[in-house]
Amino acid sequence: MHNNYYFLKHLTNSLSSQLNNAELVECFTQNKNELIFAFAGKDDIYIKAHLSPAFCCLSLPNNFSRARKNSVDLFEDLIGKKVTGIRMFVNERCFALQFTEGYQLLFKMHGNRSNIILFNEESIIEVFKKGLKNDFDISINELDRPIDQSYDHFLKEQGNFKKLYPTFGPVIKEYFKSINYEELTIEQQWKAIQETVEQLESPNFFVSEINSKLTLSLIKTGSIIEELSDPVAAINHFFIKYISDESIRQLKKQLLSDIEKSIRKSEGYIKKTGDKLKGIEQNQNYSQLADIIMANLHAIPPRSAEATLDNFYDNNAPINIKLKRDLSPQKNAENYYRKSKNQALEIKALEKNLSQKEDLLLELMLKKETIESTDDIKALKNLTKKSNSEKNEQQPKPFMSFVYNGWHLWIGKNARNNDLLLQQYAYKDDLWLHAKDVNGSHVLIKHQAGKTFPQHVIEKAAQLAAYYSKRKNDTLCPVIVTPRKFVRKRKGDPAGMVAVDKEESVVLVPPSNEL
């Protein structure tokens, strides 16, 4: 109800004395759909209009610091003008600040169509949200909506309160549902309406949760978080609470989205791997087949594609075993023994992977529970940083990466990748290597603070640079070795081409990619 007609009436009444004769000294925007007004009077007064389609709300902060960049002055015709009064439009979610020289600043608080419009007399001078085309046709003198709210009219409308009180809004409608309004007699309905209007006209203000949604209410309903008696304090408390809760909701949504995606992938992997293990277990045991062949070598004719033998593992029941015609029975048995060994290794690997994935799934489920139960924005931000850090660590680098004797070796995959490696991932103290006078990959040995590059590591990196070049098949290849700071990319050079200002050394090595 923070944009409700009845709340705006209370708010404008409270602002009337504060803004009377106050001078507008500044009006600017520094965020999309947000406008700040600064008034100088008995006290400095700030009005912040947050007019996002998703959430439209006014607030009156005690102070406000303007950003040094990306802020734009608006409604400059009003600067220096003084407030002469506030006009609240009848049965409308609109009010206007009236200024000297006939200016009026209309606050149209219509949810996702909210806007602020400057008039001089009846002419529109400036519109904040220019995308709302219909707002250019508004007549400020035709905004009042007088409605006959008498008992006779109520009877005529057969108790339909929406016709007489379109200003009640969703919270009051929900409240009427809770008291079973439709089941009351016409007299009881009228009494309920009059009691409700009485509360709306002289209320306390309740920041409540209604149907899991934060609401500023003028009647006591829902789960009450805070009760206030001043409309300015109420709107400020509601605004801060809403923005805080929305930030928490968005952070939770982001974190839960990533975790739920990982949970689905883990569950899919566990099911697929479990099914695969079951399938392997249901297949014939290769080791037993090999044993049966070896026990019945005399009974298998040469070049047989299949043999029916006694299965001594199953009370000598006959079993058909497929064979390779071009192999002897002993070699067929060897094949089955090898398959058995491979099958055992596969089962062991699958069971290990399945166990790791089940542990990961448990960890993800615990993380999900932690996020869902956390309402502290600082804790959620820390979880977001941790999640982003883990993502970056898991993100594969866009080039080949090896570790040799504790040193990281990075190798570009192609010309564009070489540029990326050099310009975005290399530091001046990294060691750069490249096969001399031919096309090839850039190779980096990553610098380690306080350590010199070992010769055997340089030679290994040089072998890799030689291998990933046009001299891959040469017996020996000369490779340039120099710090990254002596390598530069000139403007206009094609992808992968660089200038080497100083070749610190050249080594001769055989091309090799063995590590």
Which residues, other chains included, contact 332 with Cβ-Cβ below 8 Å and sequence gap of 6+?
293, 323, 324
Whether the per-residue pLDDT at 250 is higher than 80: the answer is: no
- Specify the pLDDT at position 284: 62
- Specify the pLDDT at position 136: 92
Crossing angle of the two packed helices 186-201 and 169-178, in degrees rounded to 10: 140
Whole-number Å distance between alpha carbons of 476 and 479: 10
For 18: left if phi > 0, alpha if psi spans -120 to 50, otherwise beta; the answer is alpha
List pLDDT tens digits, range 152-175: 998 898 888 888 888 888 888 888
Q: 3-class DSSP state for residue 4? A: coil
> CATH code for 5-142?
2.30.310.10
Whole-number Å distance between alpha carbons of 109 and 100: 23
Q: What is the DSSP letter of 137?
A: G
Whole-number Å distance between alpha carbons of 287 and 336: 6
* Average pLDDT over every residue of 127-135: 91
Of residues 509 and 257, more confidence is placed in 509
Q: Is 23 exposed, middle or buried (CB count within 10 Å of its CB: 0-12, 13-18, 19+)?
A: middle
Which secondary structure element, helix H or strand E, spans residue 275, and what is its range? helix 231-282
Task: Say how many Å lie between the first and final Cα of the chain, rounded.
Answer: 69
Model's pTM, two decimal places?
Answer: 0.57
- Specify the pLDDT at position 445: 96
In sequence order, what DSSP letters do the residues of 451-494 get, joined into one string?
A: -PPPHHHHHHHHHHHHHTBTTTTSSSEEEEEEEGGGEEPPTTPP
Whole-number Å distance between alpha carbons of 445 and 429: 9
List pLDDT tens digits, range 438-484: 999 999 999 998 899 999 999 999 999 999 999 999 999 999 999 99
* Average pLDDT over every residue of 256-261: 85
Of residues 158 and 390, more confidence is placed in 158
- Specify the pLDDT at position 303: 87
List pLDDT tens digits, range 43-72: 889 999 999 888 899 999 888 888 878 889
List pLDDT tens digits, range 426-437: 999 999 999 999
The pair of three-digit structure tokens given for residue 301, joined into one six-digit string? 């004719």
* Average pLDDT over every residue of 359-376: 83
Whether the per-residue pLDDT at 346 is higher than 80: the answer is: no
User: Are 467 and 514 contacting, i.e. CB atoms less than 8 angstroms apart?
Assistant: no
Q: Is 374 exposed, middle or buried (CB count within 10 Å of its CB: 0-12, 13-18, 19+)?
A: middle
Which residues, other chains included, contact 493 with Cβ-Cβ below 8 Å and sequence gap of 6+?
499
Chain centroid offset of residue 19 CA: 41
In which residue are the tokens 């099914």 written?
Answer: 275
Task: Report percent pLDDT > 90 for the chain.
Answer: 37
Read off the pLDDT band of 283 (50, 70, 90).
low
119-123, 163-167, 281-285: range with highest mean pLDDT: 119-123
Per DSSP, helices labelled H in 32-140 are none
